[in-house]
Amino acid sequence: MADILVNIINKSENPLPAYATVDAAGMDLRANLETAITMQPLERTLVPTGLYMELPAGYEAQIRPRSGLAIKQGLTLLNTPGTIDADYRGEIKIIMINLSNEPQTIQHGDRIAQMVIAPFVQVKLAEVAVLTDTDRGAGGFGHTGKS
């Protein structure tokens, strides 16, 4: 697999995002905070990372929750997966929410999200009057009855 070069500016004291294992899809993003943030139950906040990227055309960065943070502290992300477009040059900030029943504190340097870089395609839409039929048809959530 060819390496894709992504230009990044790091205005934090945290290390650059990196893959933790050889086959990891995501890189951990860390909080860049002057002071800790304590989130009350159901509170949401925007957490800065100090990172700015220049993605190549045809790629996006997907921002996803960290499973350990979700199960251990009840902290997860809203608008997930979030998308960072290739033409965005602002700071990467993470929309977090506390779904636990207790206040949760985020410290500077805490791993708060993971970022997956992925290719995408843009499509052309063709407006039609009728769509082709399939066995599934309009069957939606739970239509197969399987658990």
Give burial (CB, 10 Å; 0-12/13-18/19+) of 88.
middle
Say if residue 74's pLDDT is above 80.
yes
Can you give the pLDDT at residue 118?
Answer: 96
Mean pLDDT of the chain: 94
Q: How sure is the predictor about 147, in pLDDT bands with cuts at 50, 70 and 90? A: low
Q: How sure is the predictor about 3, in pLDDT bands with cuts at 50, 70 and 90? A: confident
| C-alpha span between 26 and 115 (Å, rounded) | 5
DSSP 42: T
- Please state which CATH class domain 7-119 belongs to: mainly beta
Angle at the Cα of 17 from the Cα atoms of 112 and 111, rounded to 5 degrees: 20
Number of H helices, E strands in the chain: 1, 10
| C-alpha span between 80 and 63 (Å, rounded) | 7
Helical H runs in 10-135? 67-73
Q: Look at 85-89, 110-114, 131-135, 138-142 and tell me which has the smallest mean pLDDT.
A: 138-142
- The residue-averaged pLDDT of 99-111 equals 98
- Joined together, the tokens standing for residue 124 give 């052309």
With contact defined as beta carbons under 8 Å apart, do 63 and 77 qualify?
yes
Q: Where are the domains of the chain?
A: 7-119
pLDDT digits (tens, 9 = 90+) for 13-72: 999 999 999 999 999 999 999 999 999 999 999 999 999 999 999 999 999 999 999 999
Can you give the pLDDT at residue 30?
Answer: 98
Say if residue 144's pLDDT is above 80.
no
